[in-house]
Structure 1
């Protein structure tokens, strides 16, 4: 992959092959038995495209009609205004040939202005994390984690949000935020950088599932090295009313490795979800520990069918009479035997030439030269 550095100024990464076909995904949990790795692409560090820096890729979704991918960038209007990219991915069932960026679009506030950076107005600075394309309405939905800074110098509280926009970035509306997810100065509500990290639509676009990356303060501790009590939440929104109709408890895995030095930052949480049916989805858990270069990425088949609706339960610590979602491990990226970075996005792509479904993951490099903007291509084996 080192030769990719030669193309820093070019929007086309490696060779050009025919784009894979536009047939739509029909995958369900019953049809997903295993994943077969096909190939990987890495774009150059902070590659420039149309005057913007292309790192921070935190979500990806496929538009079958236009045969293109939408990728949200988690730049908090620091390098460039908050934005998303469109791209073409070129692959087959035998190889992953290239990634070609095609357009960059600025995310706009309700007043039509770009979002400011935190040095201009921290209260209005977003933290973009997930994005999906709604073909039924020809619109995009994206999520922001908001902000929670409470210290002796300052207090900044910005609620997380879920926003519906036009394909050219203009604001349409926002989803109603359940009270449990409002940022607070006290240790209540969501934790900083642990909020709306993933989202996806049920078939027919009737509902939107949104995943909370880490437990709320009231719901218990963050994941630990041997923890079995870390519960975060999945939220189910009605797309007609944009209001939450259900929430479900999701039990996180323990953190994969201790940090070095001991006591340094470590985390495990849901970095994205991919909805398969009204009650089935893929969930990605991403574990990171300071001193360990790789992230530990596990993909689970998750089902809410028999889980308790915890919409009206404020604390999963004090009210433990709930049944969490069920999940089973589908794939552990460690099995690839290669460096795995901060995977934060997943989407089905088109059907492969062999008739099987494609599945693409993207990693956020956090704009760090020590990390990589990676794309991983898999075949779904039914």
Structure 2
């Protein structure tokens, strides 16, 4: 009943806040980014119901300025409900973040028109949705799946990661060609489990799309660790008209922020999302988590690919002589907010604020856990 009351309140607040002071944008335009000015935070209650589903697992977000709505992919592997995405309205001004109103839920559909099965039904067809963007030029959505790699004494399940173009009604259109380096393998080669296509974004003219790997492939070296600056992952550049990869770039990850407790516990740092600013510049989100530490460490970098080596033809980054990874500069560390920071996995532009500055929205995935939060963070982009 608590969740139901929140949802009805959110609908009411959203209606009252309809005369938001933000302005509508007219396209995927970019400008200079000097710093991020924090405006506010909203938290969606755990397992809030919507149209027969439970909200949570919000792993990617994008904004459509024409409809003034946000698309948010859910990383539910058809375990709680069929794989899906949500739409929502966010109500805020230049000085306050007022409310969120979820408007609809849409299932992701396979090429045959059916919803995706959970792993207890058909593990080979179960997706792991992670990122989503709206292509305003085509009026379609693109989403990514990390696939699956389970290799143990009982079973071997290998499902390739994928990038799919769909309608706004969730219907399958086509898929992007997968470079051979990113096919799942039973041997310790290719992508690691849960370390694949976490982020994607379009260039302003929608000619190209960048897709980021969360963690290094096996051949590209070890995962990030404490005090270790050697971990290299990849960013892929696709041609949207051919759906073929045209370049790949190396990206150096920061060390894991905190030791795990116990020391044998899980720890990770990787790219949880990217947002494309222009043909060569991206915002990259690095998300570090260690068992025994409640908060995630979230850092946002301004990343430049102009002088970066194209590593498409190299199967192992350590074999690239004179490798030039992407240049990056720290833009914002969420630790500065002095509030609980959860698993931030999505970022998007929002509408233009009354002062002419862009808004920026981040979303956190609660992993469907009552110990975590579905969070939204709102910022002003100050030139």
Q: Residue 81 of structure 1 corresponds to which residue in structure 2?
A: 82
Q: Residue 25 of structure 2 corresponds to which residue in structure 1?
A: 23
Decide whether the 8 Å contact of 1:227 with 1:253 is kept in 2: yes
User: Does 1:12 pair with 2:10?
Assistant: yes
Decide whether the 8 Å contact of 2:165 with 2:174 is kept in 1: yes
SS at match of 1:141: strand
Q: Residue 244 of structure 1 corresponds to which residue in structure 2?
A: 245
Classify 1:91/1:155 alpha carbon distance in 2 versus 1 (closer, same or farther; 3 Å).
same
CA separation in 2, counterparts of 1:236 and 1:145? Answer: 17
Stretches (4+) displaced over 4 A: none
Aligned residues: 378
RMSD: 1.4
Residue correspondence of structure 1 range 192-341 to structure 2 within 5 A: 192-341=193-342
Q: Alpha-carbon deviation of 1:322?
A: 1.5
TM-score (normalised: structure 1)? 0.97
Residue correspondence of structure 1 range 52-131 to structure 2 within 5 A: 52-131=53-132
Structure 1 unaligned residues grouped into runs of 5+: none
- Give a deviation string over 1:119-149, Cα, whole Å, max 9, x none: 0000000000000000100100000000000
Classify 1:227/1:126 alpha carbon distance in 2 versus 1 (closer, same or farther; 3 Å).
same
Decide whether the 8 Å contact of 1:140 with 1:164 is kept in 2: yes
Decide whether the 8 Å contact of 1:14 with 1:97 is kept in 2: no
- Give a deviation string over 1:84-130, Cα, whole Å, max 9, x none: 00000000101000000001000000000000000000000000000
CA separation in 1, counterparts of 2:138 and 2:72? Answer: 19
TM-score (normalised: structure 2)? 0.96
CA separation in 2, counterparts of 1:6 and 1:96? Answer: 21
Q: Alpha-carbon deviation of 1:353?
A: 1.4
Decide whether the 8 Å contact of 2:4 with 2:49 is kept in 1: no
Q: Alpha-carbon deviation of 1:203?
A: 1.0
CA separation in 2, counterparts of 1:6 and 1:159? Answer: 38
SS at match of 1:268: strand
CA separation in 2, counterparts of 1:11 and 1:262? Answer: 44
Q: Alpha-carbon deviation of 1:263?
A: 1.4
CA separation in 2, counterparts of 1:334 and 1:106? Answer: 35
CA separation in 2, counterparts of 1:7 and 1:314? Answer: 53
Structure 2 unaligned residues grouped into runs of 5+: none
